[in-house]
Amino acid sequence: RWKNWCGRCEKERAKEQADSVYVPAGSCIYCGMEQETILYYYPLPGGPAGRNSIEAAKKRWFQEAVLRVETLAEDAGFSVLGCPVPPFYYRKKGWKEPVLFEAMEAALHTAAGMPDTYVHPDILRLLAPENRGRWQPRSSTVKMMAKHLLGQQAQKALARTDMVTVLLGQPHETAQQLEMTWELLEPYLPRVNRMLLYYEEQETLWDKRDGYPADRETQILETAGTDAREELQELLEVYYYEYGLVPQLVPYSRSRTAAGVEEEVEKAAKEETANETAKEADPGQLRCGKERCGGVILDYCEGFRYPKIAAGECVYMDIVSDGGKQRLLGRKSPAVAYVSPLKYLDTMVKNSYDRKVKMT
């Protein structure tokens, strides 16, 4: 009966066929593309005296330890799934690392699509060090969440101050960090008039071993970083060409000088303990200098660098989600808004838990 149809009927039939196209679970209903999904492993909420304190991953000895997966949010441009990890895997027995690893793998395979993972530090510490890298989120996922959080916080911060501060982390990741910085800040750069960028400069330490002449000094400690000032200037030229912005480069300072560490190593060499002291010698904690930071602060560092934050509206974006930074920042600058992907996920868990409590 469809052999001879008019143009109007042809359009209606084409529309019906398009509506019947199969769209896999976890995909966008408009374009059929898979939506980004994050699976977050977190400690089961509830204090020692609460009802959750006696929950375990399995009820009987012959069962497998199972972690359930539940939906936390789907309205943030990406889907977030939660996987609560109870304190015990059976009765009141603590988790064994292989059992926990297998349970986490099984929970990951039950989620639709190809989700990325975030793991709470308390759960990550239960895993063997060689297995922790398996659960680190992809850089694209970190970037996606950072964009989402900046979209909520950056506008208000830049409305009162026109400054951006970037705290670079490991030197070998500088290019990747600068690429992410450009993608995160580009929508807000027309409002920025000053950009401050802290980086790690070269620091070489030497050891004069006992009995060796001065011209046979041997470098036994690796450099703490690479003085990439010229390289950084080349990578940052795009800010000037596109927005007339010249980033100010400032190296981190150290709480202990290289000369002081060299004296300790030389002294230890005379005492025939050079090798042990060389391993323990800390070149000093990296810290921000006297330059004032403010506006939007992007932190890629593994530890807190104690930036001097100017008064006014400010948002501190911790890209690596180090919980210790939040505590130290709260003591040093309690008025500064701290945001991170992990804190965002913890907030979603708390909101979901509160909704369940209200429904009961």
Report pLDDT digits (tens) over 109-145. Answer: 988 778 999 999 999 999 999 999 999 999 999 999 9
For the chain, give the number of residues.
360
Mean pLDDT, residues 95-120: 90
d(CA 58, CA 135): 23
pLDDT (tens digit, 9 = 90+) per residue, 286-320?
999 888 898 899 999 999 999 998 877 789 999 99
> Span 324-336, mean pLDDT?
90
Q: How far is CA 159 from CA 59, 156, 291, 315, 337, in A?
A: 55, 5, 21, 12, 15
State yes or no: pLDDT of 345 exceeds 90.
yes
d(CA 349, CA 42) in angstroms, rounded, equals 8
Q: pLDDT band for position 181 (50/70/90)?
A: very high
Percentage of the residues of the chain whose pLDDT score is greater than 90: 40
Which pair of structure tokens corresponds to residue 53? 């304190």
Query: How is residue 282 written in tokens?
Result: 């800390």
Closest CA to 298 of 135, 157, 117, 133: 157
CB 189 within 8 A of CB 346: no
Q: Give the per-residue pLDDT at 12.
A: 54
Q: Terminus-to-terminus CA distance in the chain, angstroms?
A: 57
Q: Yes or no: say if 239 and 246 are a contact pair by the CB < 8 Å rule.
A: yes
Q: What is the Cα–Cα distance from 102 to 128, expressed in whole angstroms?
A: 13
Measured from the Cβ of residue 37, the count of other Cβ atoms closer than 10 Å reads 20
Asked if 40 and 118 count as a contact pair (C-beta separation under 8 A), the reply is: yes
Of 22-31, 34-43, 190-199, minimum mean pLDDT range: 22-31
Q: Residue 250: which pLDDT band, with cuts at 50, 70 and 90? A: very high
Query: In this model, does residue 164 exceed pLDDT 90?
Result: yes
Query: How far is the C-alpha of 137 from the C-alpha of 122, rounded, in Å?
Result: 16
Average confidence (pLDDT) over 38-56: 67
pTM over cut 0.85: no
> Distances from the Cα of 219 to the Cαs of 90, 215, 270, in angstroms?
52, 12, 17
